[in-house]
Amino acid sequence: MSRFVSRRTALAAVIAGAAAAGLPHAPAPASDRRTAAEESSAASTAHRYCVYLDSWAQPWADAPAQLDLAKSPSYIGTIVLSFMQPDAQYVRGSYSFNGTGLQFSCEGTVLRDAVSLLRRRNPGVEVLVGIGGATYQNWPGMNVSAIADFVSDFGLDGVEVCWEPTAPGCTRSGSGMQCATDAESISVVKALSEGLPAGSTLSVAVAHVGAYGEGAWADSQPLSAYTGVSLALLRSDAASSITRLNIQAYDASTAYNPKEALAAYQNYFKGPILLGVKIAPEDWPQEGAPNAHVLSLPEVKDLANEVKDRGAGGMSLWSLYKQPKSGTPSVREVSQTICDVLELGDSTQPWPW
């Protein structure tokens, strides 16, 4: 799935112009779940590894223990169920995926019980639902109460906001960046922070170049329609309600430097930040293009060491069911490398994906 695909030509023109001019289930309250996580060894580690679970690819199962989700190794700290529509329709107590955008083939109660089973096996794990993504764009119609009810019913820890506007409208105004979607990003985070169950995690996925466009990063490459798209949110009062950021540090060509992006985001946000990688091939530039980036294990190791050196929150991966390009590392190989470098536990644990 394309996530924040670069549009360098569009913004280059804009900037140039601007310059010229099976278990019994009553899920525990979120506050109780957070306490359990804080007390576990997995949660107390200095870093976190987050993975996206593509709901459309999760194989069908009629028992919670058979779902891959329930078999997740303990070094995975966060699993994001992808993706729920911002304008989802969900009736509390129905455990139905109809109208939510999630594409699990199993029954809702099977997923609910798999989450509970996973918690018993790994009390420190955090399970979120991803809201939005590249496909679901009706943020003005966001149904916060439905999202909150879904989180409560399925015993989840909260949400990740995967806000990916198709036309961010970012321009350079003087020495700063302004985007047509600034107000929307702020209002989305505010609404969720006020409407989710108390103690919920509110993670925000941010664009690869979203902290570029100003100061030391005024000319950071590549120029993109998303350059500076995160700045207004990070400067707003709503930023104080964000649990962590998750940089989608891919789909940006070989001109992009994830280390530079991490430094830029750390300048604007003082909470935990995850640095994301993506199993090859990436969506942009298209596979075979001379500037197409291809993930390698030495790069994963290098980026994980950068995360450690900079005291960042950890790393993330898109996605669990993505099949790698021939000759490139698999999801398991990338995950084991991150686990080993960030010292998250035993990387040889059984792997269900």
Residue 67 has pLDDT above 60, yes or no: yes
If we measure between CA atoms, which residue out of 217, 167, 188, 174 comes closest to residue 4? 167
Contact 42, 122 (CB under 8 A): yes
Q: pLDDT category, 13, cuts 50, 70, 90?
A: very low
If we measure between CA atoms, which residue out of 187, 155, 166, 181 comes closest to residue 64? 155
Contacts of range 67-71, beta carbons closer than 8 Å, 24 or more positions apart: 67/106, 67/110, 67/111, 67/114, 68/320, 68/352, 68/353, 69/111, 69/114, 69/115, 69/118, 70/114, 70/115, 70/117, 70/118, 70/121, 71/350, 71/352
Strand partners of residue 53: 81
Q: Side-chain half-sphere of 147: how many Cα atoms within 13 Å?
A: 31
pTM score over 0.85:
yes
Per-residue pLDDT at 38: 39
Q: Which residue has the higher pLDDT, 102 or 45?
A: 102
- In the chain, the N- to C-terminal Cα span, in Å, equals 18
Residue 27 has pLDDT above 80, yes or no: no
Q: How far is residue 268 from each of residues 164, 244, 314, measured CA to CA in Å?
A: 20, 12, 17
Q: pLDDT category, 4, cuts 50, 70, 90?
A: low
Q: How far is residue 281 from each of residues 207, 284, 285, measured CA to CA in Å?
A: 18, 9, 9
Q: How far is residue 255 from each of residues 171, 207, 229, 292, measured CA to CA in Å?
A: 21, 15, 19, 9
Mean pLDDT, the chain, rounded, equals 90
- Cα-to-chain-centroid distance, residue 209: 15
Contact 140, 184 (CB under 8 A): yes
Residue 162 has pLDDT above 70, yes or no: yes
**What does the CA dihedral 134, 303, 224, 17 come to, rounded to 10 degrees?**
160
Longest dimension (CA), the chain: 65
If we measure between CA atoms, which residue out of 318, 320, 303, 319 comes closest to residue 263? 303
Q: pLDDT category, 45, cuts 50, 70, 90?
A: low
Q: Side-chain half-sphere of 257: how many Cα atoms within 13 Å?
A: 10
What is the per-residue pLDDT across 255-276, written as a single tens digit (0 to 9) for each? Answer: 999 999 999 999 999 999 999 9
Per-residue pLDDT at 12: 41
Q: Which residue has the higher pLDDT, 173 or 87?
A: 87
**Phi, psi (5° rounding) for residue 177?**
-110, 140
What is the per-residue pLDDT across 196-238, written as a single tens digit (0 to 9) for each? Answer: 999 999 999 999 999 999 999 999 999 999 999 999 999 999 9
Tell me the C-alpha distance between 300 and 131, whole Å.
27
Q: pLDDT category, 88, cuts 50, 70, 90?
A: very high
Residue 56 has pLDDT above 60, yes or no: yes
Residue 40 has pLDDT above 90, yes or no: no
DSSP string spanning 147-163? HHHHHHHTT--EEEEE-
**How many Å is the Cα radius of gyration of the chain?**
19
Q: pLDDT category, 174, cuts 50, 70, 90?
A: confident
DSSP-derived pairing of the beta strands 176-179 and 170-173: antiparallel
- Show the tokens assigned to 7: 């549009």
Residue 44 has pLDDT above 70, yes or no: no
Q: Which helix (H) or strand (E) holds 81?
A: strand 78-84
Contact 275, 306 (CB under 8 A): yes
Tell me the C-alpha distance between 84 and 98, whole Å.
11
Contact 353, 58 (CB under 8 A): no
Contact 291, 263 (CB under 8 A): no
Per-residue pLDDT at 181: 98
Q: pLDDT category, 5, cuts 50, 70, 90?
A: low
